[in-house]
C-alpha cells in the first residue's frame, strides 16, 4: 500500500507536514473539513502545495520527520522544486552538504 508525505499551506502562511496512507485528495478533504482537531484545523483554509508517494511506510515516516525539521526557506525550495536551493540551504556548518536526498518521485502540487 502506498504512503504519502505532503505539505499544506495554512491560511496564516505556515506549513503543515503530514503523512497518510489515504489518497492525498481524500486527506486534503479531511483537513479542510476540520474534522480532525489539531494544527491545520485551527488555520483553515489549507491547500496542498507538495506531495510525494512512497512504497514503504518507514521511508515515508523518515521523510516526514526530515522535512518537519527543515527551515521555512528549505520547505519553500522543496515546494518550488528548486533542488539547487535545497542543497545550498542543506549545507552544514563547515561547508559540507547534507547527504540524505529526498525521494525520486517527489513533486509540487
Digit-coded pLDDT (tens) for 10-19: 999 999 999 9
| Number of CB atoms found within 10 A of residue 13's CB | 8
d(CA 108, CA 2): 18
d(CA 14, CA 18): 13
Residue at grid coordinates 512512497: 54
The CATH class of 3-108 is alpha beta
Is the pTM here over 0.85, yes or no? no
Give 22-41 pLDDT, tens digit per residue: 999 999 999 999 998 999 99
The domain ranges of the chain are 3-108
Amino acid at each position: 500500500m502506498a504512503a504519502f508525505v505532503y505539505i499544506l499551506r495554512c491560511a496564516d502562511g505556515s506549513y503543515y507536514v503530514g503523512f497518510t496512507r489515504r489518497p492525498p485528495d481524500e486527506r486534503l478533504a479531511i483537513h479542510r473539513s476540520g474534522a480532525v482537531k489539531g494544527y491545520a484545523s485551527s488555520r483553515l483554509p489549507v491547500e496542498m502545495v507538495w506531495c510525494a508517494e512512497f512504497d514503504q511506510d518507514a521511508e515515508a515516516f523518515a521523510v516526514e520527520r526530515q522535512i518537519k525539521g527543515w527551515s521555512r526557506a528549505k520547505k519553500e525550495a522543496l515546494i518550488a522544486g528548486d533542488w539547487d536551493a535545497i542543497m545550498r540551504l542543506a549545507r552544514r556548518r563547515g561547508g559540507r552538504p547534507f547527504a540524505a536526498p529526498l525521494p525520486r518521485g517527489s513533486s509540487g502540487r
